[in-house]
Amino acid sequence: MIYADHNATSPLDPIAWAEMRPFFEGRFHNPSSPYTAARAAALAISDARRRVAALLDAEEEEVRFTSGGTESNSWALHIARAWNPERRHWICSAVEHASILEPLAALEQEGHRVTLLPVDRNGQLDMETLAHALTPDTALVSVMSANNETGILHPVAEIARMARSRGVPTHTDATQSVGRMPISFRALGVDLMTCCAHKMHGPKGVGALVARVGIDCAPLFRGGGQEGGQRAGTENVPAIVGFGRAAEQAYISSSERLSVLRAIVEDGVRARIPQAILVGAEADRIPNSSLFLIPGLDTDVVLAALDMAGVCASSGSACASGSSEPSHVLRAMGWLDGEKRAAVRISWGRFSTEQDANDLVNILSRIVLEIQVHERPPR
């Protein structure tokens, strides 16, 4: 099997699993309990916080553990709302993940205004539009670091500088870039940043919201005093431990290695399927992802044929699969223009090999040829 869908999720690093396992077994204690055995769990959380903070170039006290990217995104919006309850305008890119777009749509239902920043065919945001959209009523600008469907990177540091100069806080959803390329919370200059473990060979169901020192984080969940009283609920100790270890392992995951796999696929597809369009070819992208549009073919047919051939790949957001809705990302980029094109996203991880990338090119080009021959009308 070739697993080429790391933007959906990635396999758990066995080293992280080995470190997690004792916390499912003998070291099961509640980190808030007063006895010595429980102190090991509390220490393991501190250790994980130190490792995650190191990966993100953030202070330990800036890292709050959550259940993942979705919760961190919702919490970021909740915090921004509590900072400036009188502000009723929100800005995000038109290509954000559903976990930003949907809560903002709910705010719109409550009478708030939402500006979706447009992108061009290469996925680039128009900074002029952002400059015009910022008002004293803007509660938050939220722009993802890398898009999950295309891998295209956004100029988050520049956006944060512009917003800050206008007194508007910023958030970035860095779920897809953390662990795949160096990310510095400090250098980005945002107030809030989302990340999660399962895209970087950590366990599912754990992530973090990073909040700049001194920021008042209105709790999303109230209850016990966990996470400094800001995120109530008994900590998911094994998952947090696995996240910490995966964060440490991510240092080994060199962007250069992922770029080599991406180049094998992109060069191979260019040579063997010349009609395929590489989305965001002109844009900076995370090093592990390529999204191809193959003219004249049906997405479901190509993905099913890849599946039959033992290749796990998808068309884009895993959260949207199963729904027949076309991709809002491709729509925002102007690619849904009535032409039939199969969307195939290939995304690699630390355990992917050059053999995987070469085999994928062979299989995909064979499949495209076979479908074309099969669908060609008889003479």
Ligand X SMILES: Cc1ncc(COP(=O)(O)O)c(C=O)c1O
Among 4, 10, 13, 69, binds ligand X (CB under 6 A): 69
Residue 348 CB, shortest distance to ligand X, in Å, is 15
Evaluate whether 116 touches 92 at the Cβ level (below 8 Å).
yes
Out of 97, 171, 212, 350, point to the residue binding ligand X (CB under 6 A).
97
**Binding pattern for the stretch 183-202 against ligand X, x by CB under 6 A and - elsewhere:** -------------x------
Q: Note whether 203 binds ligand X by CB under 6 A.
A: no
Q: Which is nearer to ligand X, 196 or 363 (CB)?
A: 196
Q: Which residue is it, tokens 């033992």?
A: 310
Nearer to ligand X by C-beta: 97 or 262? Answer: 97
Nearer to ligand X, 94 or 318 (CB): 318
User: Does the protein bind ligand X through residue 287 (CB under 6 A)?
Assistant: no
- Residue 93: both structure tokens together: 């890119």
Residue 99 sits in the site that holds ligand X (CB under 6 A): yes
Q: How far is the CB of 319 from ligand X (least distance, A)?
A: 6
Q: Which of 236, 217, 234, 238 lies closest to 225 in space, CA to CA?
A: 234
Residue 211: its H or E element: strand 207-211
Q: How far is the CB of 369 from ligand X (least distance, A)?
A: 32
Q: Does 68 bind ligand X (CB under 6 A)?
A: yes
- The nearer residue to ligand X, 188 or 371, going by C-beta atoms, is 188
Is 134 within 8 Å of 146 (Cβ atoms)?
Answer: no
C-alpha–C-alpha distance, residues 105 and 110, integer Å: 9
Structure tokens at 81: 């709302």
Total of residues contacting ligand X (CB under 6 A): 15
**Pair 333, 121: CB distance under 8 Å:** yes
Q: Which is nearer to ligand X, 80 or 144 (CB)?
A: 144
Cα–Cα distance measured from residue 207 to residue 235, given in angstroms and rounded to the nearest whole number:
12
Binding of ligand X at residue 244 (CB under 6 A)?
no
176 binds ligand X (CB under 6 A): yes
x/- track of binding to ligand X for residues 207-226 (CB under 6 A): x-------------------
Please count the other Cβ atoms lying within 10 Å of the Cβ belonging to residue 129: 14
**Percentages helix, strand, coil for the chain, rounded to the nearest 5?**
40, 15, 40
Minimum separation from the CB atom of position 227 to ligand X (A): 17
Nearer to ligand X (CB atom), residue 176 or residue 299: 176
Mask: binding to ligand X, 303-322, rule CB under 6 A, as x and -?
Answer: ---------------xx---
| CA 234-219-201 angle, 5° bins | 55
Helix 237-249, helix 36-56: angle, nearest 10: 40
Cβ neighbors of 344 (< 8 A, separation 6 or more) are 291, 292, 294, 299, 302, 303, 306, 313, 315, 364
CB of 144 to ligand X, least distance (A): 5
Q: Is 345 in the site for ligand X (CB under 6 A)?
A: no
The three-class DSSP label of residue 369 is helix
d(CA 58, CA 108): 32
The CA distance from 249 to 200, in Å, is 9
Contact criterion met (CB below 8 Å) for 150 and 123: yes
Give 101 or 363: the residue with its C-beta nearer to ligand X.
101
Among the listed residues 170, 175, 289, 347, the single contact to ligand X using CB under 6 A? 175
* Shortest distance (Å) from residue 157 CB to ligand X: 18
- Does the footprint of ligand X cover residue 148 (CB under 6 A)? yes
Residue 28: count other Cβ atoms within 10 Å of its Cβ.
13
Catalytic site residue 195? Answer: no
Interface with ligand X (CB under 6 A): 68-70, 73, 97, 99, 144, 148, 173, 175-176, 196, 207, 318-319
Catalytic residues: 319
